[in-house]
Copies of this chain bind each other. A is one copy, B any other.
Amino acid sequence: MTVLNDGWFTEVFQDQGTAFSLQVKKKLHEEQTEFQKLEIWETETFGNLMVLDGCVMLTSRDNFLYHEMMTHPALFTHRDPKKVVIVGGGDCGTLKEVLKHPGVEEAWQVEIDERVTRLSEQYFPELCESNTDPRANFFFGDGIQWIRDAVPESLDVIIIDSTDPVGPAEGLFALDFYRDCMIALREGGIIVQQSESPLLHTNTIIKTIHDDMKKAGFDHVRTLPFPQPVYPTGWWSCTMAGKEKPVVYFREEDADQRPFVTRYYNADIHRGALAMPQFMVDVLEDEVMSSER
C-alpha cells in the first residue's frame, strides 16, 4: 500500500472516502486568522496552493477554470452589467475576471477574512493585478449583512464565491440570504453561486439551492458543471438564476468577441455548460432541455 510521506499535502474527504494529494516543496506560510486556519504551500507542479481549515482553496495552475466559470457566464447572461458584487472571493481571482468586462463600472469584493486577500496579494499576485483598478472596491466584513444593507434594486450581478456550506459560509446557502439578494438586484439581475460537485451533491446541496432560489423568487435556475481538478471528484459547478428571465440565453456574440483573454471560457463552452448530465436533469426536474433549443 502506498503511503505518502512528508513531501505531500493531502486533503482527506472523509465522508466521501476519497483523498487528493499534491506534492509540495515547502510550506510558505501558516496562520490562524480570526476566522480560519490559513496555509500557503509551494507545490511541485501546481504552483502555489492556498488551504483554509485543511481544505484546498486554489492553486496557481488550475484556478482559472473556477474563476472564469464563476464570472463570465453570469456577466454575459446579464444584458449590461454595471455593478457587480462578489460575496467571498477573497483571493481576488473572481474580481480580476469581473473587471475584464469593460462595461462594469463598479465591482465590490465583500470578504469576511481580510487575511485571505493580504496573503493572496503576496502569494498569488497574478490574481490581484486588478486590485488597483479604480472600479475595484473592497469591504472586509459580513457578506450577509452587506447584502441586507444594500440599497434595494441597486445591483446587477451577485457572485457568491464562498467556501463549502459549513462554518463561515453556511449562511450564504440559505433562503433568507437569497431573498435579500432578490431585493438588492435590479431588474434583469443575475445571481450565481459556487455549488459543489455534480457527482456528490446533486441530490443534496444543489437540489436545495434550486429549491431555495425558487422560493426566493428566482424563476429560472440552472447549474453549470465545469472541471476543477483540485476539488473533490475534480468536477465542480456553479448555479445561476435570473430575477426575471431564463438564464439559458446569453449574449453569445459578445461572448464570442470578448475583448479579453480567457483560458477556459468561450461562447461554445458557455453553451456547453448549460447542458446538464442526464442524472442531474432527472433529479432537478427542470424545464431544462426544451427551453434550450
Binding site for B on A (CB under 8 A): 1-6, 8-12, 16-23, 43-46, 62, 198-199, 225, 227-229, 233-235, 256, 262-269, 271-279, 281, 288-289, 292
Contacts and interface: CB of A to CB of B under 8 A. Distances in A.
Label chain A's interface by main secondary structure: mixed
A229 B161 CA distance: 23
B264 A275 contact: no
Given A18-B46, A19-B23, A271-B272, 9 more contacts: A1-B10, A3-B4, A17-B44, A18-B229, A199-B229, A234-B234, A264-B277, A266-B281, A268-B292
Contacts of A272: 271-275
Contacts of A17: 22-23, 43-46
A101 B44 CA distance: 46
B277 A271 contact: no
Nearest to A19: B21
Question: Which one of A9, A43, A229, A273 has the greatest number of beta carbons of chain B within 10 Å?
Answer: A229
A14 to B, nearest CB: 8
B266 A289 contact: yes
A45 B11 CA distance: 17
Contacts of A229: 18, 199, 233-235
A275 B281 contact: no
Given A229-B234, A276-B268, A16 B4 contact: no
A277 B263 contact: yes
A54 to B, nearest CB: 8
A70 to B, nearest CB: 16
7 contacts: A1-B9, A18-B229, A19-B21, A20-B20, A229-B234, A256-B289, A263-B277
